[in-house]
Amino acid sequence: MTPQDRTVGATRGRGRPKDPEAGRAILRAGLELFVERGFEGTSMEQIAKRAGVGKLTVYRRWSSKEELLSRAIEMMVEEPGWPSNDEIRVASPHEILERILPASAEMAVDPRFRALVARILGSSVSHPSLMATYWKHYVAPRRAATSALLENARRDRKVPVDADVDVLMDMMAGAVLYRVLQPNPPDAREMERYLREVYRVAGLLP
Amino acid sequence: MTPQDRTVGATRGRGRPKDPEAGRAILRAGLELFVERGFEGTSMEQIAKRAGVGKLTVYRRWSSKEELLSRAIEMMVEEPGWPSNDEIRVASPHEILERILPASAEMAVDPRFRALVARILGSSVSHPSLMATYWKHYVAPRRAATSALLENARRDRKVPVDADVDVLMDMMAGAVLYRVLQPNPPDAREMERYLREVYRVAGLLP
């Protein structure tokens, strides 16, 4: 145990985070460093340093960098305004998308979102657990909602009966990810136009 | 200058690459390390070591890691079988895609392709020059050909007249990139089915 670790465990009022906050500070520091430097450019030492705790405090909670970053991604993924099951039942896909489009466009062009998604895709082959966590906690709930929208659009004959819903969802999400990582990323206004066109091709907007 | 550098410059017949081959060996080593460890996990020292040359030999050619890897990506991108302008003029999009589909599916599921694309997307925010090089030398020529195919399909009323060709191309390419980086990547057979569905949604296959 380093002297720093003891300080964090105790309550000396020096402004260092106490235990529950230390956990969040470590995850926040891990996510920041992952976004800035990538998986291989980040070390447990750097994470401890940025979080203002000792290395042992970090290792006591997470035995590996992959585990720590996976938890950090899990903590980060929350996005208000996504349609509830009730809303999907009563409103048309068109109405729902018109409501969430501006916020979705803002989020897609947010530099932090771009950078985090780039890093997760970048480590998807070397460290697949990060992508798996992102998929489970972020992508899967959104795909469930989008799938329900596509089913409704199919019932209304806006989407062909024989369309493969998984492929359609990949085309929508893939286009957005690919677009924001291209040279010359769009601004929010251009992204909103872009999203409309994507949803139109998929049959979700007229 | 290190002793190793001098050996490479001279011709002592020790099996070390001579100058022109040294250049290619350095680029190959750089690309391998980039794929294995990412941009931040790769150093000029490691590249020199794997290429079997001294550090100075590397620095004499490329002043930065970003420049070296950018050139390595440029060297790597070649894909036979892409339709020529003549073929696009005389054959239907349907015929052309049927010809290139099996090779495209094989390439998309190739672990080296997946890993390289993951790394390029991963560094697209922190080191955009790598994506810019990939875009210029690999993506742009393919987009020009795909755009011509979409124009032909539009003329034949398979693609709506008001469709945004850039968005359609992002949806096709984005879906494939996104699919191969998801948990549980597909095999070549599943990828071929997947590509057919993607092209069908875009209006390029019936």
Return the residue of A nearest to B38 by Cα. Answer: A40
Q: What does each C-alpha distance from A105 to A94, A98, A114, B167 come to in angstroms? A: 16, 11, 12, 15
Taking the Cβ of residue B81 and every Cβ of chain A, the question of whether any pair is shorter than 8 Å is answered with no
pLDDT at B135: 92
**Chain B residue with the nearest C-alpha to that of A195:** B167
Average confidence score pLDDT of chain B: 87
Domain B3-75 shares a fold with domain B79-202: yes
Nearest to A170 among B131, B167, B175 (CB): B175
- Is pLDDT at A2 greater than 80 in this prediction? no
Percent of chain B with pLDDT over 90: 68
A75 touches chain B (CB under 8 A): no
CB B154 within 8 A of CB B163: yes
Residue A81: predicted pLDDT? 62
Collect all residues of chain B within an 8 Å Cβ-Cβ radius of residue A128.
183
Residue A177 has pLDDT above 70, yes or no: yes
Does A140 contact B at CB distance below 8 Å? no
Instruction: For A57-206, list the strands marked E by DSSP.
Output: none
Contact A198/B167, CB-based, under 8 Å? yes
Mean pLDDT taken over chain A: 87
Residues A137-158 have pLDDT tens digits of 889 988 999 999 999 999 888 8
Q: Which of A37, A39, A198 has the CB atom closest to B171's CB atom? A: A198
Tokens representing residue B151 in the block: 């124009």
Cβ atoms A33, B40 nearer than 8 A: no
Is B167 close to A128, i.e. CB distance below 8 A? no
For residue A196, give the chain B residue with the closest CA: B167
Q: How far is A161 from chain B (nearest CA, A)?
A: 12
Q: Which amino acid is present at B71?
A: R
Nearest Cα residue in chain A from B162: A197
Model ipTM value: 0.85
CB B77 within 8 Å of CB B137:
yes
Q: What mean pLDDT do residues A18-32 have?
A: 89
Residue A12 pLDDT > 80: no
User: Which residues are CB-contacts of B3 (< 8 A; sequence separation ≥ 6)?
Assistant: B54
Residues of chain B found within 8 Å of residue A171, distances taken between Cβ atoms = 171-172, 174-175, 198, 201
Write out chain B residues lying below 8 Å of A38, CB-based: 38-41, 122-123, 126
d(CA A2, CA A45): 13
pLDDT in tens, A42-63: 999 999 999 999 999 999 999 9
Q: Where are the domains of chain A?
A: 3-75, 79-202
B165 touches chain A (CB under 8 A): no
Range B101-117 average pLDDT: 91
Q: What is the DSSP letter of A204?
A: S
Q: Which residues of B64-77 are buried (b: 16+ CB within 10 A; e: fewer)?
A: ebbebbbbbbbeee
Closest partner residue to A121 (CB to CB) among B41, B122, B197 is B122
Residue B2 predicted with pLDDT over 70: no
Distance of alpha carbon A117 from alpha carbon A4, whole angstroms: 33
Q: Which residues of chain B make contact with A205, given a CB cutoff of 8 A?
A: none
The pLDDT score that the predictor gives to residue A76 is 77
Pick the CATH number of A3-75 from 3.10.129.10, 3.40.190.80, 1.10.357.10, 3.30.379.10: 1.10.357.10
Among candidates A167, A181, A194 on the partner chain, residue whose Cβ is nearest the Cβ of B197: A167
Using CA coordinates, name the residue in chain B closest to A115: B125
What CATH number is given for B79-202 in this structure?
A: 1.10.357.10
d(CA A119, CA A113): 10
